[in-house]
Amino acid sequence: MENEKSVSIGTVKTVFESKKGIAIQGYEGSFHQVAARNMYGKAVEVIPCATFRDLIRVASDKSASSGAIMAIENSIAGSILPNYNLLQKSSLKVVGEVYLSISQNLMVNPGVKLEDIREVHSHPMAILQCLEFLEKYNWKLIESDDTALSAKHVHQHKSKHIAAIASKLAAELFELDLIAPNIQTMKNNYTRFLVLQREKEAIQIADADKASIYFQTNHSKGILSKVLTLIADGDINLSKLQSMPIPGSNFKYGFYADLEFEKIAQFHEVMQSIEGLTNSVKIFGVYKKGKLVKG
């Protein structure tokens, strides 16, 4: 691109903050918003989207947003496979990532005590993550569409007998008390979020050391092994390899891969070396490896 610039990830933050908001899946107070704040600061404006499909649509619209933050995998639940397909069909580029430590918290209206609680509302995944704690009490567990929305409902209805499980940010936004913080059973629980920007506006990251790609092979015997060997020979760490069925094929597969390297030249050399063994190659983005931050 003629006007393409090479910048640091810190500059990317400034670029986003000076434009429209960032699309997130879920409501204000969701873990997507926590990830957005960690990436761009507390002042970042978020655009809540009901579904990931809506998120991709809003992020792709120049008049609606400056991009998006989208969850792609969880350390317990694994990859969010439909999101790979959404990314594949979009024209969005990955320009960064955030690893967010997921902290589930029991929250109530001010003054409510544990003995007052009769019901606990939250997303089914959050409830499952906290069952060891919840089973200590004889509470009715109510599944909802979103953790943050559950917190909002507790606040709006001023309930004295209903609690919600959500993020600390949700408690802050909806003026709820954290009556029991960090109640998730597995403490080592984190979600990886991708930072997305429209392809025409994507900024080259000067100190990039990671790339996300998709490729297909001709499925001949040993072909995938050859591709992986070339990646290893290029002194590149294959940190993730996810197979996905190719739509319309008879159980043939494409592969999503994350590659980590020290210098961008290594990545370009490896991409050239595997060119003859792959087809339908797509580079989702070249960016800086994310760090684990607290939720």
Task: Render pLDDT for 129-162 as a digit per residue (tens, 0 to 9).
Answer: 999 999 999 999 999 999 999 999 999 999 999 9
Output the domain CATH number for residue 28. 3.40.190.10
| Nearest Cα to Cα of residue 207 among 142, 287, 270 | 287
High-pLDDT (> 70) share of the chain, %: 94
For residue 294, being part of any structural domain is answered with no
Same domain? For 214 and 174 the reply is no
Same domain? For 98 and 193 the reply is yes
Same domain? For 193 and 70 the reply is yes
Q: Give the pLDDT of residue 274.
A: 95
Phi, psi for residue 214 in degrees, rounded to 5: -135, 140
- Kindly indicate the confidence band of residue 19, based on its pLDDT and cuts at 50, 70 and 90: low
Output the domain CATH number for residue 271. 3.30.70.260
Measured between alpha carbons, how far is residue 57 from residues 23, 78, 280 in Å?
Answer: 9, 24, 23
Residue 23 predicted with pLDDT over 90: yes
- Domain count within the chain: 3
Burial of 150 (0-12, 13-18, 19+ CB in 10 A): buried
For residue 43, being part of any structural domain is answered with yes
For residue 293, being part of any structural domain is answered with no
**Could you read off the pLDDT of 61-93 as tens digits, one per residue?**
999 999 999 999 999 888 999 999 999 999 999
Rounded mean pLDDT of 111-134?
A: 96
Contacts of residue 220, defined as CB under 8 A and 6 or more positions apart, other chains included, come to none
Q: Give the pLDDT of residue 17.
A: 46
Pair of tokens at residue 277: 């063994």
**Could you read off the pLDDT of 203-231 as tens digits, one per residue?**
888 899 999 999 999 888 999 999 999 99
For residue 292, being part of any structural domain is answered with no
For residue 198, being part of any structural domain is answered with yes
Q: Give the pLDDT of residue 117.
A: 98
For residue 270, being part of any structural domain is answered with yes
Rounded mean pLDDT of 13-21?
A: 57
- Kindly indicate the confidence band of residue 202, based on its pLDDT and cuts at 50, 70 and 90: confident
Q: Give the pLDDT of residue 149.
A: 95
Tell me the sheet residues that pair with 195. Answer: 69, 96
Rounded mean pLDDT of 3-25?
A: 58
For residue 164, being part of any structural domain is answered with yes
Give the structural domain span for 124. 105-180
For residue 1, being part of any structural domain is answered with no
Q: To the nearest 5 percent, what fractions of the chain are helix, strand and coil?
A: 30, 35, 35
Contact 167, 107 (CB under 8 A): no
Residue 257 predicted with pLDDT over 60: yes
**What does R_g of the chain's alpha carbons equal in angstroms?**
21
Same domain? For 140 and 194 the reply is no
Residue 294 predicted with pLDDT over 90: no
How far from each other are the two terminal CA atoms of the chain, in whole angstroms?
A: 37
Same domain? For 96 and 129 the reply is no
Identity (one letter) of the amino acid at 16? F
Same domain? For 176 and 223 the reply is no
Same domain? For 93 and 60 the reply is yes
Same domain? For 145 and 78 the reply is no
Same domain? For 50 and 12 the reply is yes
